[in-house]
Structure 1
């Protein structure tokens, strides 16, 4: 499976970002976190590439003096 198209579930996203579930959903609501994609009636996930881009942007923003 191509890494760019890898789908992460909420537990993986929480582990990778260090954010709690409510914080992830709050950032999504505020438009500051990648939106999830619908996988089924009760399943959703995030593209790994979008999560990595979000992390990279956070790193870059923290380095601005």
Structure 2
């Protein structure tokens, strides 16, 4: 994944292209549908710095920003 952090304008343009009105958090079940990769592969890629980092929501809960996932898909 690119180490440069995309600005908010780029994020909003990408979300609009995919028909999303705003950025939102995506949980594991939806992340798998969006990216088509397994939980294990996601974890490995994340550890290697090749996948967006998850946001910790609580002790046992995490999610990804939809815009981060869409940026990752477009960089592939």
TM-score normalised by structure 1 residue count: 0.81
Say whether residues 1:17 and 2:43 are aligned partners: no
CA distance in 2, matches of 1:57, 1:39: 26
Would you say how many aligned residue pairs link Structure 1 and Structure 2?
A: 56
TM-score normalised by structure 2 residue count: 0.70
* Unaligned ranges ≥5, structure 1: 59-65
Q: CA RMSD in A?
A: 1.0
CA distance in 1, matches of 2:39, 2:68: 17
Runs (4+) of structure 1 moved beyond 2 Å? none
Where 1:3 maps in the other structure, the secondary structure is coil
Deviation for aligned residue 1:3: 2.1
* Unaligned ranges ≥5, structure 2: 1-20
CA distance in 2, matches of 1:10, 1:39: 12
Task: Tell me if the contact between 1:3 and 1:48 (Cα under 8 Å) persists in the aligned partners.
Answer: no
Deviations 1:5-64 (A, max 9, x none): x00011111110100110000000100000000111110000000000000101xxxxxx
